[in-house]
Homo-oligomer: A and B are copies of this chain.
Amino acid sequence: MNELALIEKIRKQAGRNALVLGIGDDCAIFRPRAGEDLLFTTDQSIEDVHFTRLLGAAPIGERALARSLSDIAAMGGDPKFCLVALAAPAKHEKWIGEFFGGLLGLARRTKTPLAGGDLARSEKIYCDVMVCGAVPRGKALRRDGARPGDELFVSGRLGKSWKRRIQPRLALGRYLRGKATSCIDLSDGLSLDLHRLCLASDVAAELDRVPVAPGSTLDRALDGGEDYELLFTLPAGRKAPPGTRRIGRIVRGTAGQIKLKGQILVPRGFDHFAEV
């Protein structure tokens, strides 16, 4: 199968959608609606870094899209479309078909049509998924809005296996628009992502408790990464939204400093460029 035939096959898999122009030209064309801000995020999924081939082509494809959708959820966005860049070894046409099968299943469930992308060959499997989302103008949830006195919440339980399916918290993100003062998704571990949120907001945080997933440990819940839950702040006294728990509060202090039950917590989540 040559590249034109492969693109045509993916175009058929992707189906019809609301874009002005999708797969098959130099660019996709998207017509924005008045009064909306657009959100953009891109996430790489690299063989033997983010996944092993043993996971299977369809779950790898689903997961690659889910990671970017989680960023859209963290900003309170509705997904609009995605672009997928994929590089794979020779004779992987069947693998590529299954990869897009998994990816497009989640794309349909979350209304994120595939608008285009790029195919290439490489020794290892490499993928980069860009998702565009939208929020009403000025309503995006950001990392830099947490204020001393705000309370800290997290969805789900943490320290889950990276092999499970990711459920991007799109409904929760949408619900938090206009309510949360800040929000971030947990991709690299609670300790590192909370550190980032506090740095961006120029505040410190105190954790009272950490909801640990069944079969996991506190260490994995703090530093494990790959949870793809939402960590967010609400002004004091608000009820925890459904499916979420209050875990602490934002305080004045050294920007980025986190305490767990009074002890300083060192951010140890996943860092691609940590000195080791």
Contact = CB atoms under 8 A, between A and B. Distances in A.
Given A119-B273, A272-B3, A128 B42 contact: yes
A147 to B, nearest CB: 17
Interface in A3-49: 3-6, 20-21, 24-32, 34, 36-44, 46, 49
Interface residues of A, number: 70
A203 interface: no
Contacts of A199: 4
A250 interface: no
Contacts of A121: 49, 272-273
Given A38-B29, A49-B121, A271 B2 contact: yes
Interface stretch (A135-143, A216-224, A233-241): A135-143
B42 A31 contact: no
A31 B25 contact: no
Among A28, A42, A83, A271, chain B packs the most CB atoms within 10 A around the CB of: A42
B87 A31 contact: no
A32 B32 contact: yes
Contact of A26 (B20, B75, B126): B75
Interface string A69-101: 001101101000101010100000100000000
Given A2-B273, A26-B143, A32-B32, 4 more contacts: A4-B199, A34-B34, A40-B83, A44-B126
